[in-house]
Chain A
Amino acid sequence: MMPAGKLVRLVGRNAVRNRRHFILSGFGIVVGIASFVFFLGLSMGVRSWVLEMFPIDRVEVIAPRTALVGALGIEAQKKLDDGIVEQIRKHDGVAEVVPRMAIAFPALGVWWYQDTKLKFDVVGDGIDPAYLKGDKNVELFRDFEAEREARGEAPPTCGPAPKFRCPELHFCDTRRMTCHHRIPMLVSRKLVEIYNTQFAKSRGLPVIGAMEEFIVQRGGLSKMRLYMDLGATMIEATTTSLKAPPRQIEGVLLGINDKAIPIGVTVPIGYVKRWNQEYLGEEAATTYSSIVVRLTDKDDVGPFAAWIEKDLDLRLQDSDGKQFALVIFVVTIFFLLISLIIVTISAINIAHNFFMQVSERRREIGLMRAVGATKSDIRAIILGEAALIGLVSGLAGLGIALLAGLGFDLVVPQFLPELPFQPDSLFNFYWWILAGGLAFSVVFCILGGFMPAHKAAQMAPAQALVQQ
């Protein structure tokens, strides 16, 4: 075959000469590739956004409450304890096991906000701080009490009444008259969104944007305090019998984390174990509310769920992420199919155009054969022109997709409901999407040019040269 440099020069010259034909041939490809890349980028962006909130490689094992003997009103629930945690940890394909423990007794939350005292019954749980490793703003999510006990130090006593002063970042437990480090707390993005869309709107309060900004505006971390009356509740019908009288503790809100309980506050699990022990006893302090399991492969969820159900008589909690991911997948496939159809029709159009071109350029092809072109050279020239259409159209398609994505990001949020935690961009244009789009374009154009190229190569030069 002719040298590559000469082939490129010849193909480039032909492209310039036949630019109208090139533009017409490439138009459909541009549209097809632009839509392909746009929808794939959008799909990937939305998918990663959704999966960030609802990771599908993490499942939550729960023990369903079953009415064992309905008539007697007895409820049975399998206990999730360290034994179960160990069993799950040893199972194949399990990468990480994190038990969660709910605050199993009533607690009353008090939060001063905008000079207003907000009181509410607290829902909360505890998780192992190691579970948050690598996340942002979680350096202070530690079990300070356990650390102090590990150092063998007794808690300092509170200052005299009525101020009960304690060291900085500590609060006074007025029942015990000892100072303790404020308890680090996290809330979920979902809770903040509920606050923004439901609570703040109805009460004319400002919405919370980025929690970190909000914290700074409110005067720093030390001001984001939440008081909890352990053992107290506003619900009069509560029948839980507690082993200890109420006492107040003080927490500090560290920020937002998707691993926090969806509605409620999450603290280091050591605190919850001690509180459950204090108010309910040993059984509550050793019973987990759920166990989060991260699998090495998200495709193993099915077999894992079957094992959990069959061997351990437990269940997986329904995953919103899985359902979202399925919907996104279906929608993505639909749009990719449309893109594929556009590109295929464009490739057929390219084939048609090239057949016409080959017919119109018979004499030129015959001349090239006469001056030394082989059949392979002629084939390479036609395929090279098709590939060039694919390359240029593909690049144009990528450019249009990226610009459309940019425009989409600018315009669409104005028409969406207020979602303060939506990502900066709804698109994830991974390199493989761009490279794949370009390759897709080039390959389809080459496929379109294949038959015309073959026809041109097989043309008898003597007959081609006598074309009028």
Chain B
Amino acid sequence: MSGGTSELVIQLRDVHKAYGSGAGKTQVLRGVSLDLEAGEIVALVGQSGSGKSTLLNIVGGLDTADSGRVEVLGLDYRRARDRELAQLRNERIGFVFQAFNLLDHLSCVGNVLLPASFSRHHEHDPERALESLRRVGLADLAGRRPAELSGGQKQRVAIARALFHKPALLLCDEPTGNLDTDTGREVIELFGDINREDGVTLLIVTHEERVSSAAKRVIRIEDGCIIEGEAVLENATRADRDRARNARDGAA
């Protein structure tokens, strides 16, 4: 249960999302409600197609909910304009993807600097990018291209990019999915450091136990409903629990 005075970084209420239309319509999220407090590390676990990545994208403003309320870092997405959402992603949210999503034609520094290209408030500052790379232990490889890096190094560069504007929230989608066990562990340790030292809130989508074990809280999602870890909710607990139970029963 969250403390009553803690700052809520994420607030979702009865969020629905479907893809397609007519007979081909697939309901991905079925009334998800969720609160995340500042400083948490939360693992969002579930099987493929359970809706966890969709939920993460909606939280990050990369996708839109069909209905329900989404409020992240004080910004109500229903009322937010594209410019405000973009500014939030630029300055206060960092993304880490399974596929790294580095631009091959840019060096490590260039990739880390990418968010600066869209910032209205920060200059194109390579020194700051180097600082980010130093934070993930890759300052020595600043001039290299992604093709010259290992998978773990690429993911560290992606994390450095996500940290460039010192975000309050880090959204990670299967960050260790393309890494071997040892490298994956290093990345998880890095997330722990970032959370501990910088106070960054992390929401990590994963299906790996080793990641969820490092989280302070694990939320399990199945068929678009949260079925575990919802105790933190104050208002939507019962509804979610019922929905989850129904979904589980239906699946069985």
Residues in A lying within 8 Å of B, measured CB to CB: 2-3, 6, 9-10, 13, 17, 363-364, 366-377, 460-463, 465
Does B152 have its Cβ within 8 Å of any Cβ on chain A?
no
Among B3-11, B114-122, B181-189, the one that faces the other chain is: B114-122
In the assembled complex, the CB of A373 is this many whole angstroms from the nearest CB of chain B, namely 5
Write out the residue numbers on chain B whose beta carbons fall within 8 Å of the beta carbon of A363: 101
Write the nearest CB–CB distance from B202 to chain A, whole angstroms.
16
A-B contacts, 22 listed (Cβ < 8 Å): A2-B118, A6-B117, A10-B117, A364-B103, A366-B101, A368-B118, A369-B86, A370-B60, A370-B62, A371-B89, A371-B115, A371-B118, A372-B90, A372-B118, A372-B119, A373-B86, A375-B82, A376-B83, A460-B62, A461-B57, A461-B63, A465-B101
Is A462's CB under 8 angstroms from B105's CB? no
Which residue of A has the minimal Cβ distance to B58?
A: A462
- What residue in chain B is nearest A371 (Cβ atoms)? B115
For A3, what are the chain B residues with a Cβ–Cβ distance below 8 Å? 120
Tell me if A370 and B117 are in contact (CB < 8 A). Answer: no
| A6 and B91 form a contact (CB under 8 A) | no
Which B residues are CB-close (under 8 A) to A364? Answer: 103
Please give the distance in Å from A308's CB to the nearest CB on chain B. Answer: 67
A-contacting residues, B186-202, CB 8 Å:
none
B residues in contact with A367, CB < 8 Å: 101, 103, 114
State how many residues of chain B have any CB contact under 8 Å with chain A.
27
* B42-73 vs A, Cβ < 8 Å mask (1 yes, 0 no): 00000000000010010010111000000000
Known contacts A364-B103, A377-B118: does B86 contact A462 (CB below 8 Å)?
no
Q: Are A368 and B62 in contact (CB under 8 A)?
A: no
- Chain B neighbourhood of A461, CB < 8 A: 57, 62-63
Closest to B100 in A: A367
Which interface residue of A3, A375, A462 has the most chain B CB atoms within 10 A? A462
Residues of B within 8 A of A371 (CB): 89-90, 95, 114-115, 118, 161
Contact, CB under 8 Å: B63 / A462: yes
With A9-B124, A370-B95 already in contact, the answer to whether A462 and B118 are too (CB < 8 A) is no
Contacts of B114 in A (CB 8 A): 367-368, 371
A465 to B103, CA, bound (A): 12
Residues in B neighbouring A10, C-beta threshold 8 A: 117
**CB-defined contacts of A6 to chain B, threshold 8 Å:** 116-118, 124
Query: Which residues 115-142 of B have a CB within 8 angstroms of A?
Result: 115-120, 124
Residue of B with least CB distance to A373: B118
Residues of B within 8 A of A (CB): 54, 57, 60, 62-64, 82-83, 86-87, 89-91, 95, 97, 101, 103, 105, 114-120, 124, 161
Give, as a whole number of angstroms, the nearest-CB distance from A157 to chain B.
Answer: 94
Given A372-B115, A372-B119, A373-B118: A460 touches B103 (CB 8 Å cut-off): no
CB distance from B123 to the nearest CB of A (A): 9
Please give, as numbers and ranges, the residues of chain B lying within 8 Å of A368 by CB-CB distance. 114, 117-118
Asked if A374 meets B86 with Cβ closer than 8 Å, knowing A369-B62, A461-B62, A462-B62, the reply is yes
CB distance from B101 to the nearest CB of A (A): 5
Q: Which 6 A-B pairs have the closest CB atoms?
A: A372-B90, A372-B118, A462-B63, A462-B57, A462-B62, A374-B86
Main secondary structure on chain B at its contact with chain A? helix
Closest to B171 in A: A370
Residues of A contacting B: mostly: helix
CA distance A372 to B93 in the complex (A): 9
CB-based nearest A residue for B165: A372
Q: Using Cβ atoms and an 8 Å threshold, which residues of chain A touch B91?
A: 372
Residues of A within 8 A of B62 (CB): 366, 369-370, 460-462, 465
Of A9, A17, A377, A463, the residue contacting B86 (CB under 8 A) is A377
Q: Contacts A9-B124, A367-B103; is A374 near B83 (CB within 8 Å)?
A: yes
CA distance in complex: A465, B89 (Å): 15
User: Bound state CA distance, A367 and B60, in angstroms?
Assistant: 12
Residues from chain A with a CB closer than 8 A to the CB of B63 are 460-463
User: Do A17 and B82 form a contact, CB below 8 Å, given A6-B124, A370-B89, A462-B57?
Assistant: no
Residues of A within 8 Å of B124, CB to CB, are 6, 9
Q: How far is the CA of A462 from the CA of B89 in the complex (A)?
A: 13
Cβ B101 vs Cβ A9 within 8 A: no
How far, in Å, is A363 (CB) from chain B's closest CB?
Answer: 7
Contact B87 A372 (CB under 8 A): yes
Give chain A residues whose Cβ lies under 8 Å from the Cβ of B101. 363, 366-367, 370, 465
Separation of A460 and B60 alpha carbons in the complex (Å): 12
- B91 closest partner in A (C-beta): A372
Q: Closest Cβ of chain A: how far from B159's Cβ, in Å?
A: 13
A376 to B81, CA, bound (A): 12
| C-alpha gap A165/B97 in the complex (Å) | 109
With A367-B101, A465-B101 as given contacts, are A9 and B117 in contact (CB-CB < 8 Å)?
Answer: yes
Question: In this complex, what residue of B is CB-closest to A467?
Answer: B99
User: Are the CB atoms of A2 and B89 closer together than 8 Å?
Assistant: no
Min Cβ gap A417→B in Å is 58
Contacting residues, chain A, for B87 (C-beta < 8 A): 372
**What's the Cα separation between A323 and B118 when bound, in Å?**
59
Whole-angstrom distance between the alpha carbons of A398 and B44 in the complex? 59
A374 and B82 contacting across the interface, CB-CB below 8 Å: yes
Q: Return A384 CB to nearest CB of chain B, in Å.
A: 12
Q: Provide the bound-state CA to CA distance between A368 and B118, in Å.
A: 8
Select from chain B the residue with minimum beta-carbon distance to A461: B62
A462 to chain B, nearest CB (A): 4
- Give the shortest distance, in Å, between A185 (CB) and chain B (any CB): 74
Whole-angstrom CA separation of A270 from B95 in the bound complex: 94
Q: What's the Cα separation between A372 and B60 when bound, in Å?
A: 11
Contacts of A465 in B (CB 8 A): 62, 97, 101
- B61 closest partner in A (C-beta): A461
Among B57, B89, B97, B105, point to the contact of A372 (Cβ < 8 A). Answer: B89
Chain A: minimal CB distance from B147 (Å): 14
Measured CB to CB, the closest approach of chain B to A376, in angstroms, equals 8
Chain A residues with CB under 8 A of B90: 371-372
CB distance from B21 to the nearest CB of A (A): 15
Chain B residues with Cβ under 8 A from A366's Cβ? 62, 101
> How long is the Cα–Cα vector from A363 to B116 in the complex, in angstroms?
19
- In the assembled complex, the CB of B26 is this many whole angstroms from the nearest CB of chain A, namely 14
Name which residue of chain A comes closest to B84, CB basis: A374
B120 x A2 contact (CB < 8 A): yes
- Among B82, B90, B118, B120, chain A packs the most CB atoms within 10 A around the CB of B118
- Distance (Å) between the CB of A14 and the closest chain B CB? 9
Q: Which of A13, A368, A372 has the most CB of B within 10 A?
A: A372
Q: A2-B118, A369-B86 are in contact. List 11 more A-B contacts (CB 8 A).
A: A6-B116, A6-B117, A17-B105, A366-B62, A370-B101, A372-B90, A372-B118, A374-B82, A460-B62, A462-B63, A465-B97
